Amino acid sequence: MSTQNMSIHRDRAARFQTEGWISSTAFLEAKELDALRSEASGFFSPSKTGRRPDRVNDGFDVINNVWKTESRFRSVAFHPTLTRNVAALLGVNHIVLLRDSVYVKPVTGSSELHWHQDYQAAPADPPTNVVACWMALDDVDIENGAMQMAIGSPGLGRLVPTNLSSGRPKVSGMNDSTVPDPMELGLQVVTVALKAGEISYHNALTLHRSGQNTSGRPRRAYVVRYASADALYARAPAAPPHIYAIEHAGHEMDYGKRIGDLGIFPVIECS
């Protein structure tokens, strides 16, 4: 893995806190990318692996928690350069790995994912203590469904949890509420075009979306979500039920406790 120019300096960490998003130079090198892409393709062939991916709102396919069984992905998720960068963005010395996922936005059959915030599926509070590292396994541009970020949108606070496919609320009793178009609020929207191996970081209150994959090319990504070990364990307002059944069963009485003390998520020292 390349560590050249990967370190997050103090000025970029300050920018992340204000804008909710930054990108980084290449982290994964060509040989590593080939190995990860090959392994990821196997995830989506259940006849080979026995694992069936989840289809998320007809937008993309996903396999969660691959670090637990796949050594190549685990070495990325726990790489000291990556985890130190996350700690620098959060201003802490200890973080926890919440979840990692391999996403595929297929060549055919993908849909738009509407504006949303990741806090709705993140089991940590406050949401600004959560960082997603989005690693491109393929070149990503607007044609194959690059993400778009609303700069400064964490300042809006928690917005209504959203069905990614329809843009409608996921919480009962809020049927007349929608996440606003950030451009109508005067926020700048940027397209996160990445070369394979590059990383984008965003926090759990950053509004983001992505369009359909119309390119004829795959859009594969490896996404790792971390939180400060000092964050409080919380029930996310709109996480898929099976996520809690797998990851959190039996820990309902731990809500409100320091997440790094629970033994649910691996703690990573980054000092």
Domain total of the chain: 1
In a domain, 128, yes or no: yes
Task: Domain of residue 106: give its range.
Answer: 10-266
In this structure, the number of other CB atoms found within 10 A of the CB of residue 88 comes to 18
Q: What is the pLDDT along the chain (271 residues), one digit of tens a residue?
A: 655 456 677 788 889 999 999 998 788 889 999 999 988 877 776 554 455 555 554 457 888 889 998 999 999 999 999 999 999 999 999 999 999 999 988 877 678 889 999 998 888 999 999 999 999 999 999 999 999 999 999 999 998 888 877 777 776 554 445 788 999 999 999 999 999 999 999 999 999 999 989 998 989 999 999 999 999 998 877 666 556 556 666 777 888 999 999 998 999 999 7
In a domain, 147, yes or no: yes
In a domain, 171, yes or no: yes
Residue 238's pLDDT is what? 67
What is the 3-state secondary structure of the chain? CCCCCCCCCHHHHHHHHHHCEEEECCCCCHHHHHHHHHHHHHHCCHHHHCCCCEEECCCEEEEECHHHCCHHHHHHHCCHHHHHHHHHHHCCCEEEEEEEEEEEECCCCCCCEEEECHHHHCCEECHHHEEEEEEECCCECHHHCCEEEECCHHHHCCCCCECCCCCCECCCCCCCCCCCCHHHHCCCEEECCECCCCEEEEECCCCEEECCCCCCCCEEEEEEEEEECCCEECCCCCCCHHHHHHHCCCCHHHCCCEHHHCCCCCEEECC
What is the CATH classification number for the domain harbouring 117?
2.60.120.620
In a domain, 42, yes or no: yes
In a domain, 5, yes or no: no
In a domain, 240, yes or no: yes
In a domain, 3, yes or no: no
Q: In Å, how far from its chain's centre is CA 18?
A: 18
Residue 253's pLDDT is what? 80
CA distance 141 to 133: 17
